[in-house]
Amino acid sequence: MTTATERNWVAPGAVDRLKILQDTKTIAIVGASDKLERASYFVATYLLSSSTYDVYFVNPVLAAKGGTILGHKVYPSLQDIPVKIDMVDVFRRAEDTPAIAKEAAEIGAKYFWLQLGIWSDEAAKVAEELGLQVVMDRCVKIEHARFHGGLHLAGFNTGEISSKRQRIDA
């Protein structure tokens, strides 16, 4: 018998998610990978090629090796990134996310975003108590494409027939 886990956190609606994406200029991807098959690599590729966001990568193992992702430096932690980060986008296990929420608040991030499949009521509570707006179990790439007319390019049936070209950020 499967027991459903009750979710207590209320997600921001579409309008709020669009406002987050419009207000964001810099994104730090925590748990970024240089492996082509990883979702974080795919999302990074999309964000660098189809948006105007400045994207920074955090992975302590890659940083220790002097690694890069898509030609960009990899930082060992959020604190090591030399610019102000608006959004922290997380590709880590749910149990790691409360500590990352605290780090995001320490660097002054405004938004704490957990990718598809990542949900942590504890991390949401921590982040919101520290003043961050939270999105969980959503993909930044999919949401950006949804609001900027490019979702159909990713193979999703949007239910909309349009000849509009993809807009790059509103």
What values do phi and psi take at 55, rounded to 5? -110, 135
Residue-wise pLDDT tens digits, 14-24 = 899 999 999 99
What's the confidence (pLDDT) of residue 148?
A: 79
Half-sphere exposure of 167 (CA within 13 A, CB side): 9
Lookup: tokens for 99: 């500590």
End-to-end CA distance of the chain: 47
Better-scored residue on pLDDT, 112 or 154: 112
What's the confidence (pLDDT) of residue 1?
A: 45
Residue found by looking up tokens 């509009």 in the block:
164
Q: Is the pLDDT of residue 162 over 70?
A: no
Q: Is the pLDDT of residue 2 over 60?
A: no
Residue-wise pLDDT tens digits, 57-92 = 999 999 999 999 999 999 999 999 999 999 999 999
Chain centroid, CA 96 distance in Å:
15
What's the confidence (pLDDT) of residue 8?
A: 75
Alpha-carbon gap, residue 28 to 19, rounded angstroms: 18
Alpha-carbon gap, residue 137 to 140, rounded angstroms: 10
- 3-state secondary structure at position 159: coil
Residue-wise pLDDT tens digits, 116-161 = 999 999 999 999 999 999 999 999 998 988 887 666 555 555 555 5
